[in-house]
Structure 1
């Protein structure tokens, strides 16, 4: 597997899988190197990760997506660890993410050293768990 920053040629792949971003922001995120793409040995996209900034000063992982047949193989872990390394190199001390309380991904993040620091309760959705990790 190869992990790198998304390029404009990845636009359609991202648009088809990331339903949590406005379409007109995808290219902006690509140009800012805020979307990673995972490619298999044949060069086909098999996953992505998108981040932004919480309070404009703390990296916040907004989305991680791995194609079904590639899940459970450690790719997500590699992707998160690469992002954390990049954020550490940029001088950040913490990274954040969130997940719904009814999603198994909360356990994935905790195994990677993220800890619960709060939650958000919206009227029409399950509890959103906020997680943080110190970058040593």
Structure 2
């Protein structure tokens, strides 16, 4: 598996699958190198990691997605560790993410060293657990 910054050739893959990102923002995220694509050794995309910045200064992983046939094989862990390494190289000391309290992803992030840092409760939505990790 390879992990690399998304390019314009990944636009259609992202647009078709990322239902949480407004289409108008895809190109800006690609140009800002805020999307990493996970690829098979043959170069086929199998998932992505997308991030932004909380408070405009703290890297915040907005979405990690692995296509169904490739789940449970360590791709997600490799993607998060790769992202954290890139953040360290850029001088960041803290990373953030969040997950819904009714999702199993909270256990995945805790195994990677993320700690609960608070929560957000929106009307008619499950509790959103905010998580941080010192890099």
Cα distance, 1:17 vs. partner? Answer: 1.5
Aligned to 2:122: 122
Aligned to 2:2: 2
Distance 2:62 2:17 in 1: 13
Aligned to 2:23: 23
What stretches of structure 1 move > 3 A for 4+ residues in a row?
Answer: none
Aligned to 1:98: 98
Aligned to 1:87: 87
Distance 1:59 1:106 in 2: 18
What secondary structure is seen at the aligned counterpart in 1 of 2:20? coil
Distance 1:113 1:17 in 2: 28
What is the number of residues matched between the two proteins?
Answer: 135
Q: 1:23-77, CA deviations, whole angstroms, 9 ceiling, x for partnerless residues?
A: 0000000000000001102211001000000000100000000011100100100
Aligned to 2:52: 52
Distance 1:112 1:36 in 2: 18
Matched, 1:73 2:73: yes
TM-score, normalised relative to structure 2: 0.98
Q: 1:66-113, CA deviations, whole angstroms, 9 ceiling, x for partnerless residues?
A: 011100100100000000000011011100000000000000000000
Unpaired runs of at least 5, structure 1: none
Q: 1:109-129, CA deviations, whole angstroms, 9 ceiling, x for partnerless residues?
A: 000000000000001210000
What secondary structure is seen at the aligned counterpart in 2 of 1:81? helix
Cα distance, 1:3 vs. partner? Answer: 0.5
Structural RMSD (CA): 0.6
What secondary structure is seen at the aligned counterpart in 2 of 1:49? strand
